[in-house]
Amino acid sequence: MDTTADWARGVTRVAVLTGAGISTDSGVPDYRGPNGVWTRDPAAADAFRYDRFMADPAARARFWRTYADHPAWHAEPNAGHHALVELERSGVAVRVLTQNVDGLHQRAGTAARKVLELHGTIHQVVCTGCGARTLTTCTLARVHAGETDPRCRDCGAVLKLAVVLFGEYLDDRVLSQARQIAAASQLLLAVGSSLLVEPAASLCAVAVEAGARLVIVNRDETPYDHLADEVLREPIGELLPRIVAALAANRNPAPTR
C-alpha cells in the first residue's frame, strides 16, 4: 500500500463499512469464505431465512443451536477493530457502519453512538409478537437448559435474535442514517465485506456518487471494485493499522509551494 496515495490525503471524515472479514481474526467465522458457516453447511442458511424461521420449529431449534455456543460470545477485538479506534484518536471523524452483529467494534472502544449496526445485534433478543427486547444471555440460558424453541414469557410468541434475517427489511431509519453518513464522508473504507448483501453494499455507490473516495479492503473480488480508488487484498489485521497511520499522517498535508 502506498502511504502517500492521493486517497489518503487531507481526509478528516471517514465512514467505515465493515463485514465479517474484520472479525475472523477474532475467531468469529464468516459465512461465505472457504471455511464459512454456510460454505461448510449450505443447509444451515435455511435457518437464517425469516419465513423459514417463523414457520418451522425445527429451523428455530437449529438457529438457537448455532448460536448457543457461537465463538462470538468469547471473541475479543483484534488489530483491525483497535485500528479504527486509533483513527478516531488521531483526530479523524470516524463513523462505523457495520454488517456485523458481534459488537466487537464497541468492545474495542468505539463509542456505541458512532457504530451503526445495519444488521442488528446478537446481544439482544426481540419478541416477534409484543416487540419486547431482552438480553440474549437470558434466552441462551433457557436453550442450554433444554428449550429448543424458547417463547416470549409475556405473550408466548416466537423469540428471535435482534438480527436481520434473509427476507427481512433493514430498519428504514438505520438505512437512511447510514446513507447520510456515507454521503457526508470524504472516504469510505469497505473492510472485510463481500459487498454481496444489499442494501448495505450499495453504501459504496452512495459515497462515490456524493464525491467520496472509496477504498476496498477484502480478500476476494467484490461487485464494487470498479468504483474504488484502490482495492487492497492484504490481511486486514496487518493492513488496517497501516491505512490508519497513513490517514493520520496525511490528515493535514503540507501546502504546496
pLDDT digits (tens, 9 = 90+) for 152-166: 999 999 999 999 998
Determine whether the annotation assigns residue 204 to a binding site. no
Last residue in a domain, options 163, 195, 215 = 163
The answer on 110 and 226 residing in a single domain is yes
Distances (CA, A) of 173 to 169, 170, 176, 223, 256: 11, 9, 5, 25, 43
Give the pLDDT confidence score for residue 48 in this predicted structure: 84
Last residue in a domain, options 110, 132, 163 = 163
The answer on 83 and 64 residing in a single domain is no
Candidates 4, 11, 21; CA nearest to 237 is 21
Q: Point out the catalytic residue in the list 81, 105, 119, 123.
A: 119
The answer on 158 and 91 residing in a single domain is no
Which residues constitute the domain of residue 192?
A: 1-28+77-119+170-257
Is pLDDT of 38 > 70?
no
46 or 65, which is more confident?
65
Last residue in a domain, options 134, 163, 192 = 163
The answer on 246 and 139 residing in a single domain is no
Q: Average pLDDT, whole number, for the chain?
A: 91
Reported confidence tier of residue 47, pLDDT bands at 50, 70, 90: confident
CATH number of 209's domain: 3.40.50.1220
Reported confidence tier of residue 256, pLDDT bands at 50, 70, 90: very low
The answer on 39 and 138 residing in a single domain is yes
Domain count within the chain: 2
119 an active-site residue? Answer: yes
Do residues 123 and 73 lie in contact, with contact meaning Cβ atoms separated by under 8 Å? no
Phi-psi region for residue 140, left (φ > 0), alpha (ψ -120 to 50) or beta?
alpha
Task: Find cell 483491525 and name the residue.
Answer: 80
Percent of the chain with pLDDT over 90: 82
The answer on 88 and 16 residing in a single domain is yes
pLDDT digits (tens, 9 = 90+) for 207-229: 999 999 999 999 999 999 999 99
Give the pLDDT confidence score for residue 255 in this predicted structure: 46
The answer on 240 and 178 residing in a single domain is yes
The answer on 184 and 84 residing in a single domain is yes
The answer on 232 and 191 residing in a single domain is yes
The answer on 182 and 214 residing in a single domain is yes
CATH number of 53's domain: 3.30.1600.10
The answer on 101 and 179 residing in a single domain is yes
Give the pTM: 0.91
Distances (CA, A) of 22 to 88, 113, 142, 167, 183: 17, 20, 31, 25, 23
pLDDT digits (tens, 9 = 90+) for 77-122: 999 999 999 999 999 999 999 999 999 999 999 999 999 999 999 9
